[in-house]
Amino acid sequence: MRTKTILKRLLIFFVICAAALAMPLTALADVDVNATYEVESDSWKNYPKSPDISAVTGVLIDAETGAVLYSKGMNAQRYPASITKVMTALLVLQNCQLSDTVTMTEEGLADAYEGSSNVAPSLGETFTVDECLQMLLVKSANDIATQLAVHVSGSVAAFADLMNQTAANIGCTNTHFVNANGLENDQHYTSAYDMALIMQQAMNFQRFREIIAMPGITINATEYSDTRYYLTHVEMIVPESQYYYEGCLGGKTGYTDISQCTLVAAAERSGMTLIGVVMGSAGTEQSFLDMAALFNYGYDNFYRVEGTWGYDVISSGVITIPKTLNDLAVLHFEGYPWEDGTVLVSIQNDDRQIGSAVMAQTSFDQLMAEVEKREKLKSGGTTTGTPTPTPAVTGEAVTGEAGQAETTVEASPTEEPKELTEDEMFPEAARKDNTGTGKIFLYVAIAILAVLILIGIMMIVKGNRRRNSRRRR
């Protein structure tokens, strides 16, 4: 009887340990609010010196190509505060009609407390989804964010699950949300780069673009309240403000005591849209200055060019590169054939992916033949035939064979690019398919635990047999 009791307690102990180890790794994340970070992009080959913003972390990406132009701790986990609401808006736009009505419930009103950014609605008061989106993004209303979560998913917890699933689907690897508004919670965090990816998705919705560009909003009177008026917190779109930035499309601010000031914003100049994120600025005004510095850096130092040397592409192929990179011969290409006969091509500068393209197999073969010719020329070898000129990054073109737009640049010696793994070639796919070292640790720990459980059971059974044997004697 005693043996059974010991065995039962031992099994319960191991089950508890296994459950603790099997908890989602995101719940074990530890955000270090005191950490500092270097500007990693300063060490990237061919990249110009970048501004060292005062924010703890930051990132700048091209909204169209996805190229990362600036990085300062861009993958570090940080508390986002109200820029969380960009994800909330994205899910509302994906799942609701703008004309739908939202009725305030006690769950939504729970976040309408004093000291919190809210619109203090009444129980039973109704708004359209469009009005809620305006109050969410312009007023930064926490109570409206919570009510929208309930409207979409039935509860905040279910909506948080949807937020996390959506984040994973778009490539976020350092994000875990537990609410719709960004109010402080140890397990509610993201990174500058993940927020840029979320903003990139939200910018695909025209109504989102329209709302974040509004300097102020008017919400019609209801049976419970008079007309409401709210002004934007993003002064970068207000012409009268000293922080106005020409070309800024809008954005979202955030603040809590632990996160400090956060900001995600977008700007457009000369047909190029940039998305910036700064997290941990010392003040709202400083976050505007940090963002302006990032935008200026992007527009002063980068532009887009066809990255496949003019060879035919099915889609993509445009890359965003530094203006100082005047020799496209340094680019490196890797191709992965698909079953439909097309090839997914990774375009790299040094060991970093800077773009991608989908090409027909014949076009890719032509591209790689041209690459081989250039490599032989750079190494002093000889080739047969006349090499195809390389398109210059100036955009000035002449017509070559087959009507392709081509110009010439002077090829310069360069180091042989580092061979990359498939996950490094296609980081978006790696984010979705690769479980990472954390999960490997989890699997190893569970395996070890299972072995320990088995050993414990065997020892107990063996001991029990010995005692029974002694009794028989």
pLDDT, position 467: 56
Query: Strand order in 342-349's β-sheet?
Result: 315-316, 352-360, 342-349, 331-337
The confidence band for 160, taking pLDDT boundaries of 50, 70 and 90, is very high
CB 290 within 8 A of CB 278: yes
Task: Kindly report the length of the chain.
Answer: 473
Average pLDDT over residues 163-181: 97
The confidence band for 78, taking pLDDT boundaries of 50, 70 and 90, is very high
pTM over 0.85: no
The confidence band for 376, taking pLDDT boundaries of 50, 70 and 90, is confident
Cα distances (angstroms) measured from residue 391 to each of 226, 309, 449: 61, 5, 59
In words, the CATH class of domain 40-302 is alpha beta
DSSP character at residue 39: B
pLDDT in tens, 256-312: 999 999 999 999 999 999 999 999 999 999 999 999 999 999 999 999 999 998 899
Burial 110-136 (b: 16+ CB within 10 A, else e): ebbeeeebbbebeeebebbbbbbbbbb
- Backbone CA torsion sign across 370, 376, 378, 382: negative
Q: In the predicted model, what is the mean pLDDT of the chain?
A: 82
Task: List phi, psi (to 5°) of 374.
Answer: -65, -40
Average pLDDT over residues 168-182: 97
pLDDT in tens, 427-454: 444 333 443 444 455 555 666 766 677 6
Average pLDDT over residues 406-415: 34
pLDDT, position 423: 45
pLDDT, position 408: 31
* % the chain with pLDDT above 70: 74
d(CA 291, CA 217): 24
pLDDT, position 378: 74
Q: Which residue has the higher pLDDT, 294 or 7?
A: 294
pLDDT, position 389: 36
pLDDT in tens, 33-64: 889 999 999 999 889 999 989 999 999 999 99
Task: List phi, psi (to 5°) of 51.
Answer: -75, 140
Q: Quick one: 232 exposed, middle or buried, by C-beta within 10 A (0-12, 13-18, 19+)?
A: buried
The confidence band for 463, taking pLDDT boundaries of 50, 70 and 90, is low
pLDDT, position 466: 57
CB 138 within 8 A of CB 230: yes
d(CA 69, CA 63): 11
pLDDT in tens, 386-403: 333 344 333 332 223 333
pLDDT, position 437: 44
pLDDT, position 5: 52
| Torsion angle defined by CA atoms of residues 323, 328, 330 and 331, in that order, rounded to the nearest 10 degrees | 100
pLDDT, position 355: 87
Give the strand pairing for 260-269 and 248-256. Answer: antiparallel
pLDDT, position 443: 55
pLDDT, position 235: 97
pLDDT, position 384: 43
